[in-house]
Structure 1
């Protein structure tokens, strides 16, 4: 097991306090430029995981993200965006983080140190073999995530992970380990930066690709998005006009509001 964590290595930059604002920003931007290339290297395993999630969802399974700190918040964010973007039920993609909802806004970082709590939190959702559990931990050493994946595997549940170190304890318990190594952070150990960016990119890939694969997108349009505000009503109306050949905006808007989504409207008219 590799204990030399890249995420904890000293920054390539020294004396940050002596830099000008422009120097700070340019150096952060320079470091960020390498993140997409690192993500590109792990696309093969991301693809395998996406296809597995698609198969599980086809038999009624769910996707769980579980993490702590920044990693946990990113998982909760991605999960929370799936219902409005794709029209799935709120319990289809579930984000869980150490410390609960309060930890989303306030640092309850010691909650991640108890290995048993991860599995306990998953059990609140009656997690089963139909589901997929993805642990998110930049360091790859978070006890909360390790416990969740370890017990998931023992119970026949497929596991994946998104970590930013190689050969980590978290990856040891993942059937689909996504190890994206972005190098030392500009600010030593601040994994909300490059590591967090890499994790966010991968989460975008996973949820978006899964939703496309299970048929919730038509062409390049979010036809199942929730119609919840004026901007989305306008977007949906124009989408319906384009796809159904409706010329009158007000008529298309009325149909959209009647059926609640573009996809439902297209099926009814």
Structure 2
């Protein structure tokens, strides 16, 4: 194995003496390195946009999105996947995270698991991956065997593939329909890719899932109208969303949400049209759940 050519394994000349400086200077050096991350992500925005559209199209057609990674990369994929159901009321099966080493690796490092291509292929196959699905392989170095195996399996099944890495000439890029390569440069601590590379991956994953959900009509402007009101905070958020869009009182919003079984979309449509909940469900279904389009069709949209 030759790591010398990997961007993420290079020694950072700006932090050569980080162990000798005062603590304030130490954290300043790390902070200065972190500021390079958004620039690296900005450089690949056109590629990210293409990936968002691909994911949205596949999800709209009934496909699923699988994030696959090892270590920090795998945990970041899981983090993105598990946040979608409460935020956008998605089925947990539609966006899934797979990590080398399985559930134990989420909480404690299982580093040896990443070295098997066969294991990556097998773990993806165990989820029933099929042609209409998308596999997004995440590896800071771009060479993790586990991720390579999963992407090869995805391609063999006829599925779409995305690669997310932080090194030039990433091996996983050659296995992807779309390669996302935010090059963040050497880490403050050589090889510690949970730092800049991990931050870049998180920023990109935020865009992939959020962008896809917006394209699927799960927001109204910047309001998460498909929020799953499963705790006190989210119930209050749903209430405020209904009050904001429908310009109604707190009492009206609460009554509408109760009638709509907590669905902010249905509650808004119910308040603004006066239609029964069942009729509101039909109206939304005709427009693939897109509230803004449904309100426009009903000529009741409160604002553009």
TM-score relative to the length of structure 1: 0.96
List structure 1 runs of 4+ shifted beyond 4 angstroms.
Answer: none
1:110-125 → structure 2 map (5 Å cutoff): 110-125=112-127
Q: Does 1:91 align with 2:98?
A: no
1:192-203 → structure 2 map (5 Å cutoff): 192-203=194-205
Quote the offset at 1:245 in angstroms.
Answer: 2.5
Quote the offset at 1:123 in angstroms.
Answer: 1.3
Of 89, 97, 104, the residue aligned with 1:102 is 104
Q: Equivalents in 1 of 2:86, 2:18: separation in Å?
A: 40
Contact 1:2 1:166 in 2 (8 A): no
Quote the offset at 1:2 in angstroms.
Answer: 9.8
Quote the offset at 1:234 in angstroms.
Answer: 1.5
SS of alignment partner, residue 127 of structure 2: coil
Contact 2:124 2:153 in 1 (8 A): no
1:1-269 → structure 2 map (5 Å cutoff): 4-12=5-13, 13-247=15-249, 249-259=250-260, 260-269=262-271
Q: Equivalents in 1 of 2:117, 2:110: separation in Å?
A: 15
Q: How many residues align?
A: 268
Quote the offset at 1:238 in angstroms.
Answer: 1.5
Gaps of 5+ in 1: none
Quote the offset at 1:253 in angstroms.
Answer: 2.1
Quote the offset at 1:151 in angstroms.
Answer: 1.7
Cα–Cα, structure 1 residues 106 and 95, in superposed 2: closer, same or farther, change >3 Å? Answer: same
TM-score relative to the length of structure 2: 0.85
Gaps of 5+ in 2: 272-304
Instruction: Tell me which structure has the larger Cα radius of gyration.
Output: 2
SS of alignment partner, residue 119 of structure 1: helix
Cα–Cα, structure 1 residues 25 and 79, in superposed 2: closer, same or farther, change >3 Å? Answer: same
- Structure of greater relative contact order (alpha carbons < 8 Å, 6+ residues apart): 1
Q: Equivalents in 2 of 1:66, 1:3: separation in Å?
A: 25
Q: Output the aligned Cα RMSD.
A: 1.5
Deviations 1:76-101 (A, max 9, x none): 00000011111111011111010111
Q: Equivalents in 2 of 1:9, 1:63: separation in Å?
A: 32
